[in-house]
Structure 1
Amino acid sequence: MFFWIQEGVSNPRLPAIASQALPKIGGIAASGSVKAFDESAQDSSGSLLPNLQKEKAKKAYEEANEEPASSPILFAHQVMTSPVESLFTDSSLYEARKFILEKRFRHIPIVNTEGKLAGILSDRDVWKMISQDETSLTKSLSSFMIKRLLTGTIQTEIRDAAKVMLEERIGSLPIIGDDQSLIGILTRTDLIRAIVRFPGFTLLA
């Protein structure tokens, strides 16, 4: 389950309406199991296939009909970065710039004095603001941060998170608790790291 949060108000994200299936491309046969291998198969001249060719053909048949290995199911709490380094709503843009340069992070979660998620800034947001007006360095982040946020929970399934991040064109997904406190964050780097850390895991459903 995913939630949109804005100024402390939480609303569930409704699933996107499924698009119509694309028509099949002509001339391509539908995939399916390979026809059973016939050890008495003959070549085009009518002769029985040599033993070596038979073995290769039999092996190819067996591999083609093997069931694909199932991919493990991972949840946000297994992959997310936690604890999360963040800034406060009254932090300045100067502090945000320093944060990015020192931490090398691309996303800065912004929390209020109670530790609840209030906004987020990307490195591109910060550089854009500074390039437009250098005097903005003294202004608080509450003036610049993105206030409408898509969030997940610790039980968010990683494949679902990747799908939603792609659909919404976002590079990070804050993970919050029941009280909207920030407990973790999922980024594209975390998703790639999951593929490396967990053998057999794939983002393909």
Structure 2
Amino acid sequence: MLVERIMTSPVETLHVNDTIHEAMNMMSRLSIRHIPIVDDENNLAGIISDKDVNLALPSIANGDTDLSLDLELGKIMRQQVTTCHPLDFVEEIAKDFYHFAIGAIPVMRGKKIVGIVTQKDMLNTFLELTGIKEPGSIIEIDIKDRMGVIYDIGKVFKNLNIKIVSISIYPNAVKKDHKIIVLRIDAMNPLIAIEKLKESGFNVLDPSEMS
């Protein structure tokens, strides 16, 4: 899946000379937590989050609220910004979210901001890819990693006239050279499919045996 499919575009930005007060108002008005910051040429200069704003306001406790709220964003923004391109794959930028523990990634074409992807966008994408948003049932199968196994599983469901909504594949942490295939199928009762899979020689996992 491409980034351009899940990004928010156009994206709201603020200027380096705008203030914390303006950032707080924008975050509250739009219910957002991250704002890209641009320079005079409208190029990306940095990014701020609600955490950055909170860390910049320790003087509120001392009564210096006005001074803190008038602080320019250029003085508190993070200048080292992880970015991506609209044609990057979502699966690739997921690694950036994980490794760098960041909450948002601006999407760039050259020096111009064309969108933004947040952790919430990534979670919604995960739910979409796994088919969780659709009604159905989940079946887990332990298989020895080999060519053609997905085709063989697909034939079982084709013969049953049951649609596979999504397929996820994970390494089996217990068995070497084995994978766990997680199927979400368009059927509220998976028992018939489970029996047919077992008859075809597949090791269908019982959730009670997964601990």
Give, in angstroms, the shift of residue 167 of structure 1: 0.4
Give, in angstroms, the shift of residue 202 of structure 1: 6.5
Give, in angstroms, the shift of residue 197 of structure 1: 4.2
TM-score w.r.t. the length of structure 1 is: 0.59
| From 7, 18, 21, the counterpart of 1:91 | 18
Q: Is the CA contact 1:86–1:108 (under 8 Å) kept in the aligned structure 2?
A: yes
Alignment map for 1:57-72 (pairs within 5 Å): none
Give, in angstroms, the shift of residue 159 of structure 1: 0.8
Name the one with the larger helix percent.
2
SS class of match (2:11): coil
Whole-angstrom distance in 2 between the partners of 1:81 and 1:203: 29
Whole-angstrom distance in 2 between the partners of 1:129 and 1:120: 14
Find out whether 1:136 has 2:87 as its counterpart: no
Aligned to 2:33: 106
Q: Deviations over 1:39-76 (max 9, x none)?
A: xxxxxxxxxxxxxxxxxxxxxxxxxxxxxxxxxxx011
Give, in angstroms, the shift of residue 146 of structure 1: 0.5
Q: Deviations over 1:117-150 (max 9, x none)?
A: 1110010111221233531211211111111111
Instruction: Give the partner amino acid of 1:194.
Output: T
Aligned to 1:191: 122
| From 36, 45, 48, the counterpart of 1:118 | 45
Structure 2 gaps, min length 5: 132-165, 172-211
Alignment map for 1:46-65 (pairs within 5 Å): none
Give, in angstroms, the shift of residue 173 of structure 1: 0.8
Question: What count of residue pairs does the alignment treat as equivalent?
Answer: 131
Instruction: Give the partner amino acid of 2:122.
Output: L
Instruction: Specify whether residues 161 and 202 from structure 1 end up closer, same or farther in structure 2 by C-alpha distance, changes over 3 A only.
Output: farther
Over alpha carbons, which structure has the higher Rg?
Answer: 1
Instruction: Specify whether residues 204 and 155 from structure 1 end up closer, same or farther in structure 2 by C-alpha distance, changes over 3 A only.
Output: farther
Aligned to 1:52: none
Whole-angstrom distance in 1 between the partners of 2:169 and 2:56: 35
Aligned to 1:151: 83
Whole-angstrom distance in 1 between the partners of 2:168 and 2:15: 36
Alignment map for 1:33-44 (pairs within 5 Å): none
User: Which gives a bigger RCO, structure 1 or 2 (Cα 8 Å, sep 6+)?
Assistant: 1
Structure 1 vs Structure 2 CA RMSD: 2.1
